[in-house]
Structure 1
Amino acid sequence: MAVLTTPVTVPRTVLLKVWEREGLGEPPPVLGADDVYVPLTVQRDYDQACMQVLAGLGLAEGETLTREFRVALRVIAAPSRELYCWSGNGRRFSMSTAGGEAVAMQVQGDLVVLVGFDERHLMRDFVAELPQYRPARGPALHVTRAEFEQRDEARESIAVGGQDAMTQLARLMKAEREDSHQVYVGAMNGDRYQRSKPFTVYDLRDHGRVVTFTDGRGDIHCLPGTTDNLASSFAATWQAMR
């Protein structure tokens, strides 16, 4: 592994500026857009100030980014595989791999932490970044799109203690949440980047963690949020993208 063997913390605005300077295209979703307005009259001074910040972090020498930092940025900009997540508490993070390199990125407010990791552990490390929470103990629930479109009947069934999959799913979706996490899977398919529909991980106070998602037919699945269920669901999505 040749990139960022130790974590570095970069101001988000500085990272967005160097992203633009390097011509890397749209910033990654977890990084967001640059909302800092810099007048043209001070643009050069602002650019130099950003490079000085990077130089102070050991990520640039004068006006030139270090090789390790440049490689890390390109892994994030053009990943062969990636996972990224938004949590309800405002935490955002991603893990990306490309060309045998792998980079993790965490965003908290205006600070971004970048570090390399072993690409062989992409799935394990990503799932481990989710806050620890006990998995739900109920069965896996599978509801067809047609059943979901008739969910008004499920609401009536809840009131009388119904136990069919639609009723159980509706009950879980009404349960009190302590946190939620929206996860996307991304991968290159040939020369085209593909992104999955969202997986939503709910941490339910009285039930535990579940993961919900829809498949290509629009059917809905809700599984106990175990490490194995999370990893296998994300991996199956990568397989489907091939």
Structure 2
Amino acid sequence: MAVLTTPVAVPRTVLLRVWEREGLGELPPVFGADDIYVSLTAERAYDEACVRVLAELGLADGEMLTREFRVALRVVASPNRELYCWSKNGRRFSASTAGGEGVAVQVQGDMAVFAGFEERNLMADFISELPPYRPAHIPALHVTRGAFEQREEARSSIAADRQDSMPQLARLMKAQREDSHQVYVRGISGDRYRRSKPFTVYDLRDHGRVVTFTDGRGDIHCLPGTAENLASTFAATWQSMT
């Protein structure tokens, strides 16, 4: 298999049409909803216009997609492993692997940028797409679901050595945010896809970057947002899916 060797920007309107015509199934979350309507009488002209755009980008030869672009689309459509993110600033991006190939997609406005990467670099390449931000200098915070639901009572009735995380977590969640990023992990388990609960990465003005998430029991965790913590957390999620 071959994948794109240089990044290429595709208009989202063209991408959605090609996705439908290629029969690739459900749209990846980062693409957004299919909000393009083409009447039956305009379909042929619209398809021809899309092919011309792709040909100008070097992604089609005549009416046929290039092998590289077709492979890239199929990796994104049916990944073995995938990470994707929505940022508060409107940017969306994903990194997907399948069949030994990796494809990253960035979507902002009406443009989707595709780029190939080595499968072994999935985690590092995805994390590097987050905007640089200093990690918070905090200990790892862990709060049980029950304690969080009873946090008002906990402030006065539970021993401090068991509830140190609660006030720290509360302060962080109320802190001013420069940006936030919601990340999902997706992978194949058996014969079906599974998606994680969201991980939220907060860039806090006075504290730095943290990552928060809940586990299978509903307990809440908040860690410094270092690249190492992000990578180990996402990797552990994949392992739990198998």
Distance in 1 between residues matched to 2:134 and 2:156, nearest whole Å: 30
Give the match for residue 199 of structure 1.
199
Which is worse superposed, 228-237 or 38-47?
A: 38-47
1:49–1:196: structure 2 CA closer, same or farther, 3 Å change rule?
A: same
The aligned runs of 1:28-67 (5 Å cut-off) are: 28-67=28-67
Percent identity over paired residues: 78
1:167–1:153: structure 2 CA closer, same or farther, 3 Å change rule?
A: farther
Please list the CA deviations of residues 19-47 of structure 1 after superposition, one character each: whole Å capped at 9, or x if unmatched: 00011111100001221222211111001
The CA RMSD measured in Å over matched residues stands at: 1.6
Runs of 4+ in 1 over 3 A off after TM superposition: 153-157
The aligned runs of 1:73-222 (5 Å cut-off) are: 73-153=73-153, 164-222=164-222
SS at match of 2:142: strand
Report the alpha carbon displacement of residue 49 of structure 1 after superposing the two structures with TM: 0.5
TM-score where L is the length of structure 1: 0.95
Give the counterpart letter for 1:133 in structure 2: Y
Report the alpha carbon displacement of residue 172 of structure 1 after superposing the two structures with TM: 0.5
Q: Which runs of 5+ in 1 are unaligned?
A: 158-162
Q: Which runs of 5+ in 2 are unaligned?
A: 158-162
1:232–1:59: structure 2 CA closer, same or farther, 3 Å change rule?
A: same
Distance in 2 between residues matched to 1:93 and 1:137, nearest whole Å: 27
TM-score where L is the length of structure 2: 0.95
Give the counterpart letter for 1:141 in structure 2: L
Please list the CA deviations of residues 157-193 of structure 1 after superposition, one character each: whole Å capped at 9, or x if unmatched: 9xxxxx7211111111000000000000010112110
Give the counterpart letter for 2:25 in structure 1: G
SS at match of 1:74: helix
- Count the aligned residue pairs: 238
SS at match of 1:4: coil
Distance in 1 between residues matched to 2:197 and 2:154, nearest whole Å: 25
Give the counterpart letter for 1:58 in structure 2: G
Give the match for residue 69 of structure 2.
69
Query: Given that residues 16 and 33 in structure 1 are in contact (C-alpha distance below 8 angstroms), is that contact kept between their aligned partners in structure 2?
Result: no
Report the alpha carbon displacement of residue 154 of structure 1 after superposing the two structures with TM: 5.9
Which is worse superposed, 178-187 or 26-35?
A: 26-35
Please list the CA deviations of residues 6-25 of structure 1 after superposition, one character each: whole Å capped at 9, or x if unmatched: 00000001001000001111
1:153–1:176: structure 2 CA closer, same or farther, 3 Å change rule?
A: farther
Please list the CA deviations of residues 77-96 of structure 1 after superposition, one character each: whole Å capped at 9, or x if unmatched: 00000100000110100000
Report the alpha carbon displacement of residue 156 of structure 1 after superposing the two structures with TM: 7.8
Query: Given that residues 154 and 167 in structure 1 are in contact (C-alpha distance below 8 angstroms), is that contact kept between their aligned partners in structure 2?
Result: no
Report the alpha carbon displacement of residue 149 of structure 1 after superposing the two structures with TM: 0.8
Distance in 2 between residues matched to 1:168 and 1:180, nearest whole Å: 19
SS at match of 2:73: helix
Report the alpha carbon displacement of residue 152 of structure 1 after superposing the two structures with TM: 2.8
Give the counterpart letter for 2:193 in structure 1: Y
Give the counterpart letter for 1:87 in structure 2: S
Please list the CA deviations of residues 116-139 of structure 1 after superposition, one character each: whole Å capped at 9, or x if unmatched: 001111111111110000000011
Report the alpha carbon displacement of residue 59 of structure 1 after superposing the two structures with TM: 0.7
Distance in 2 between residues matched to 1:118 and 1:154, nearest whole Å: 48
SS at match of 2:115: strand
SS at match of 1:37: coil
Query: Given that residues 147 and 154 in structure 2 are in contact (C-alpha distance below 8 angstroms), is that contact kept between their aligned partners in structure 1?
Result: no
Report the alpha carbon displacement of residue 153 of structure 1 after superposing the two structures with TM: 3.7
